[in-house]
Structure 1
């Protein structure tokens, strides 16, 4: 018997990609084509009541498809994504938008940082340099807003991330089991809440560079909704510190109740 034969069997770690989708039929195939072979074990697409053929195309491409009967919003879509990813036994969950704005070739690199224990949460940073972001199509006003909010968030949360507002994210299972994301908004501020929660519960955050692509089919919120999102993000940072200082309690920072212990029969 060899030493290898004596070692306990190790269960393969399962990587699940989730795609919060809305009217993504024109870009879904390209996004999937860039995922490296063997990088993920399953792709779950949650269709948020699209008006196009997103769900039908996803089924043809062999994805696991969940369809919302009514539009639940970006945050509500993610809640369904993570619920099903955990139920499927995922050890690592990667969220990537199916609008081809983010380069899915980096999935393997992001997951490896999680496997090594270097980080618990990985974000894809679209902003390596100002020139690259602007030449990639990011509107000037959005770049300025991103830089301002990211700087404020880094200071408030004690981090050093390049892009707090990326739609490319990877998580260890423990993060999704600990963070009370079910209490978050169903709107776009879900992402800001999640990262503040991850910091509050002591998880390690990091990022990897992801080339930016802005074009007509890529999803993006308009200026008015961006202003609302920015103000909401600042309010979330204030909530974080009020909670940290034990001045006010907020539901988004309340830990899950402990699971009951299994009864033993003697």
Structure 2
């Protein structure tokens, strides 16, 4: 996609993000996004009011559909805008949105189709940044497993800061994927099945009470579903339409 100025749409899948949304949006470099789309997944706080006050394009689910269900609406609405690149940023302020330009640059240059912002640069840095130890080691185990099964060499698959070329998103049947947290992994498995190029940049870790993160039981369930999906991929690796 080597071009001087790519049209970028930022999406934010939101759930009870009123306390962190404004800080996250203000960190996005000025002029980089033609539009910021927020999809609210049944929040009980003032997420929608904050988003509207900031001039974001807001869509809301009357009931909570889940993390994957939220992203489906995000990507569906973003692709209607005919962008070159779609960037997802979690509005919980865990990720450094000032790095958005660095994240999309390899896609603009045509070197990658998908870029991930990896929080896992070193164990010491991740744990010092506040990531719970059980989440760090669970993340590492899943990442090693995914690299082995998918033939990649990524440091993290489970990040809420990522960018896709619009062409890549249109090749992936994301509307047929899971409505829960395993959606992210299914999307990347489908990307591998479609021979899309995936890269990453390092991003700092930022964990604090207001940052949304799954609890131990939810993370365990997510881990088991992740391994199940890897097994399915191995049995269907010739398929170019991996779905849930």
2:41 to 18, 38, 48: 48
1:187 equivalenced with 2:185 (yes/no): no
Tell me the TM-score normalized by structure 2. Answer: 0.96
Q: What's 1:57 paired with?
A: 50
* Contact preservation (8 Å) 1:20, 1:46: yes
Task: Summarize the alignment of residues 125-136 of structure 1 with structure 2, pairs less than 5 Å apart.
Answer: 125-136=118-129
Distance 1:20 1:189 in 2: 15
Distance 1:19 1:124 in 2: 15
1:252 equivalenced with 2:205 (yes/no): no
2:6 to 13, 35, 60: 13
* Contact preservation (8 Å) 2:172, 2:241: no
Tell me the TM-score normalized by structure 1. Answer: 0.88
* Contact preservation (8 Å) 1:239, 1:250: no
- For structure 1, the residue ranges without an aligned partner over 5 or more in a row are 1-9, 254-266
- For structure 2, the residue ranges without an aligned partner over 5 or more in a row are none
Structure of larger gyration radius: 1
2:150 to 149, 157, 170: 157
Q: What's 1:90 paired with?
A: 83
Q: What's 1:196 paired with?
A: 189
1:117 equivalenced with 2:117 (yes/no): no
Q: Secondary structure at the match of 1:208?
A: strand
* Contact preservation (8 Å) 1:183, 1:251: no
1:36 to 17, 23, 29: 29
Distance 2:166 2:142 in 1: 27
Q: What's 1:256 paired with?
A: none
Distance 1:87 1:112 in 2: 22
Structure 1: 4+ residue segments shifted above 3 A: none
The aligned length equals: 242
Distance 2:74 2:169 in 1: 11
Task: Summarize the alignment of residues 199-210 of structure 1 with structure 2, pairs less than 5 Å apart.
Answer: 199-210=192-203
Larger relative contact order (CA 8 Å, sep ≥ 6): 2
* Contact preservation (8 Å) 1:19, 1:81: yes
